[in-house]
């Protein structure tokens, strides 16, 4: 089939490359010429494991193309995936839909004269419930046979290629049998391998992504709330999480205590769901999400406090090494990064902060130019009064604490992700503090 993907950011670039991998002819569309140029040359504009080879393969096969022309996209296919961003509004928690609206409004005039088969616009962007219906009404003014469906993405940064090609489920929010049939054809190889295909109305499909992310955020914040209790009782949050996760009704996933969550999805999505519920006069139904958000924010302040304790009560004029800048490992994404939030908070308290990250240094420097950066761990930690482990990259678990102790001024570590071998670090002479594990101090 011929498909277009409107918006070639994180979701769009991955979706376009994966659809070409499935054998479809795909045209990616974006207004950023530099981005389109890089993609057309087979170069992804961000770090995502496995994407580079997939993208290059699609371009080399002739199945994957890119353009800045929405008119060309309208002529290329009658199925259009909308994958543009929906960031949080600057003045509220609600989702900013200007890019979704612009994508549909930009496409619509080229459909005015007909000459196409039935047009299907498939939303993959994360949007408030009711968006599909509103966009369908606008689109059908100029293209009466146009249909809008919603097909939310469930990608995890660092695992996006696998999540697209081997998804746990595909959700199709449709109003017509024709839309359902077309989506079944597009995703045919996945359905043939047994991937569940959940057909529902568009409103439910819009809601499922926000509800899923809000549930995951709640689980993460809950174990971090328990970590706060562990700090004042002497209990060990890692053992607590292990015991809780052994209950099949709970499970171990997302019970990782530490610096909590960030990125472009979970914080934004819980706020967007809360805002939309309030617009619908149902704010009480998601009141707990406000506390989930507050617990998440509080973890950043708690890590700063642990750092302050380790350097004797004041961060002023101290040298602080930060391991990690991306909001999660296997990504160079620094949007709402807890690691950078902590690094900046420490800097504002008078410390000299040097940051290391395997992939995200360039993006971090652009977002936080007042911080210092290093391209290797030893350089980042040279002369440090305290080391803060803030993003759980696998490389950091391979650090030799004995060797690193020779680089620092004081062997003091805050393991804000609770993922390093505290016994090994303490045996090497380090003082170790971690959220929810007061006995380490």
Q: Which of 155, 175, 200 is the last residue of a domain?
A: 200
Over range 408-427, report the average pLDDT. Answer: 97
Those residues with Cβ within 8 angstroms of residue 177's Cβ, 6 or more apart along the chain or in another chain: none
Domain span at residue 31 reads 2-200
Sign (positive or negative) of CA dihedral 429, 434, 439, 441:
positive
How many domains does the structure of the chain reveal?
A: 2
* 224 and 196 inside one domain: no
CA distances from 414 to 261, 311, 322, 440 (A): 17, 11, 10, 10
Q: Exposed e or buried b for every residue in 331-343, given b needs 16+ CB within 10 A?
A: bbbbbbbbbbbbb
CA distances to 102, 175, 271 from 85, rounded to whole Å, are 11, 24, 15
Write phi, then psi, for 29 (nearest 5 degrees): -125, 135
Residues 6 or more apart whose CB falls under 8 angstroms from that of 131 comprise 97, 100, 123, 150, 206
pLDDT in tens, 197-244: 999 999 999 999 999 999 999 999 999 999 999 999 999 999 999 999
Q: Are residues 185 and 43 in the same domain?
A: yes
pLDDT digits (tens, 9 = 90+) for 270-308: 999 999 999 999 999 999 999 999 999 999 999 999 999
Could you say which of 18, 260, 265, 381 is catalytic? Answer: 265
pTM to 2 decimal places: 0.93
Q: Is residue 209 included in any domain, yes or no?
A: no
Choose one of 200, 224, 249: the last residue of a domain. Answer: 200
Angle between the N-to-C axes of helices 202-233 and 287-310, in degrees from 0 to 180, rounded to the nearest 10? 40
Q: Specify whether 196 is located in the same domain as 229.
A: no
Helix (H, G, I), strand (E, B) or coil at 186: helix
Cβ-based neighbour number of residue 131 at 10 Å:
24
Asked if residue 232 and residue 180 are part of one domain, the reply reads: no
Cβ atoms of 80 and 120 within 8 Å: the answer is yes
Residue where one domain finishes, among candidates 176, 200, 224: 200
Residue 55 CA to residue 57 CA, distance in Å, equals 5
**What is the C-alpha to C-alpha distance for residues 319 and 60, in angstroms, rounded to an integer?**
49
Q: Is the pLDDT of residue 144 over 90?
A: no
Are 171 and 259 within one domain?
no
Q: What is the DSSP string of 208-267?
A: HHHHHHHHHHHHHHHHHHHHHHHHHHT--HHHHHHHHHTSTTT-STT---SS---SSSHH
Q: Would you say 316 and 350 are in contact if contact means Cβ atoms under 8 Å apart?
A: yes
Report, in angstroms and rounded to the nearest whole number, the Rg of the chain calculated over CA atoms: 24
Same-domain check for residues 224 and 142:
no
Q: Which long-range contacts (CB under 8 A, 24 or more apart) does 417-423 make?
A: 417/256, 417/258, 417/259, 417/324, 417/389, 417/390, 417/391, 417/392, 418/237, 418/238, 418/256, 418/257, 418/258, 419/256, 419/258, 419/389, 419/392, 420/389, 420/396, 421/397
Q: What is the largest CA-CA distance in the chain?
A: 74
Burial of 388 (0-12, 13-18, 19+ CB in 10 A): buried
What token pair was written down for 422? 């505290």
Confirm whether 260 is a catalytic residue: no
Measured in degrees and rounded to the nearest 5, phi and psi for residue 90 equal -65, -30
**Structure-block tokens of residue 177:** 């049998």
Q: For residue range 339-397, what is the model confidence (pLDDT) as tens digits?
A: 999 999 999 999 999 999 999 999 999 999 999 999 999 999 999 999 999 999 999 99
Whether residue 240 sits in one domain with residue 160: no
Residue 144 lies in a domain: yes
Q: Report the pLDDT value the prediction gives residue 113, as an integer from 0 to 100.
A: 57
CATH assignment at residue 62: 3.40.50.720
| One domain, residues 176 and 227 | no
DSSP 87: P
Beta strands (DSSP E) in 84-217 are 120-123, 147-150, 170-173, 197-200
Are residues 138 and 7 both part of a single domain?
Answer: yes
3-class SS of residue 193: coil
The number of beta carbons lying within 10 Å of the beta carbon of residue 122 is 26
Its sign, for the CA torsion 339, 328, 99, 63, is positive
Residue 177 and residue 223 in one domain? no
Q: Could you tell me if 291 and 166 lie in one domain? A: no
Here the tokens at position 107 are: 């496409």
User: Residue 7 corresponds to which tokens in the numbers above?
Assistant: 């918006």
CA dist 24 and 30 (Å) reads 19
Task: Judge if 261 and 325 occupy the same domain.
Answer: yes
Q: Is the pLDDT of residue 117 over 90?
A: no
- Residue 205 in any domain: the answer is no
Residue 210 lies in a domain: no
pLDDT, tens digit, 9 for 90 and up, residues 33-88: 999 999 999 999 999 999 999 999 999 999 999 999 999 999 999 999 999 999 99
Asked whether residue 5 carries a pLDDT value surpassing 70, the answer given is: yes
Residue 10 has pLDDT above 80, yes or no: yes
pLDDT higher than threshold 60 for residue 103: yes
């Amino acid at each position: 089939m011929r498909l277009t993907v409107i918006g070639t950011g994180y979701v769009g670039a991955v979706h376009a490359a994966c659809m070409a991998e499935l054998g479809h002819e795909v045209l990616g569309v974006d207004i950023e010429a530099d981005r389109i140029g890089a993609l057309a040359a087979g170069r992804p504009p961000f770090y995502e494991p496995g994407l580079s080879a997939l993208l290059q393969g699609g371009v080399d096969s002739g199945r994957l193309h890119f353009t800045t022309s929405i008119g060309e996209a309208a002529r290329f296919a009658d199925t259009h995936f909308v994958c543009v961003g929906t960031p949080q509004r600057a003045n509220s928690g609600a989702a900013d839909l200007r890019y979704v609206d612009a994508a549909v409004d930009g496409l619509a005039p080229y459909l005015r004269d007909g000459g196409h088969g039935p047009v299907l616009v498939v939303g993959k962007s994360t949007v408030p419930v009711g968006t599909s219906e509103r966009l369908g009404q606008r689109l059908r003014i100029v293209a009466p046979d146009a249909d809008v469906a919603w097909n939310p993405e469930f990608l995890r940064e660092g695992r996006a290629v696998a999540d697209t090609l081997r998804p746990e489920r595909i959700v199709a929010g449709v109003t017509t049998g024709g839309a359902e049939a077309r989506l079944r054809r597009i995703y045919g190889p996945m359905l043939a391998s047994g991937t569940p295909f959940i057909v529902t109305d568009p409103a439910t499909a819009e809601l499922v992504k926000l509800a899923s992310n809000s549930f995951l955020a709640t689980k993460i914040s809950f174990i971090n709330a328990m970590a706060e209790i562990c700090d004042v009782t002497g209990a060990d949050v890692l053992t607590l999480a292990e015991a809780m996760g052994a209950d099949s009704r709970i499970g171990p996933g997302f019970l990782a205590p530490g610096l909590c969550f960030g990125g472009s999805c979970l914080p934004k999505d819980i706020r967007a769901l809360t805002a939309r519920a309030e617009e619908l006069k149902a704010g009480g139904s998601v009141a707990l999400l406000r506390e989930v958000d507050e617990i998440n924010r509080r973890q950043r302040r708690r890590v700063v406090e642990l750092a302050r304790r380790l350097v004797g009560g004041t961060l002023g004029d101290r040298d602080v090494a930060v391991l990690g800048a991306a909001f999660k490992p296997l990504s160079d994404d620094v949007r709402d990064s807890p690691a950078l939030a902590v690094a900046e908070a420490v800097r504002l308290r008078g410390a000299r902060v040097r940051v290391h990250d395997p992939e995200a240094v360039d993006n971090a420097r652009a977002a936080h130019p007042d911080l210092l950066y290093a391209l290797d761990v030893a350089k980042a930690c040279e002369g440090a009064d305290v080391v803060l482990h803030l993003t759980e990259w696998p490389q950091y678990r391979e650090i030799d604490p004995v060797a690193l102790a020779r680089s620092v001024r004081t062997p003091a570590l805050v393991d804000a992700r609770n993922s390093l071998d505290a016994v090994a670090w303490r045996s090497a002479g380090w003082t170790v503090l971690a959220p929810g594990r007061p006995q380490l101090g």
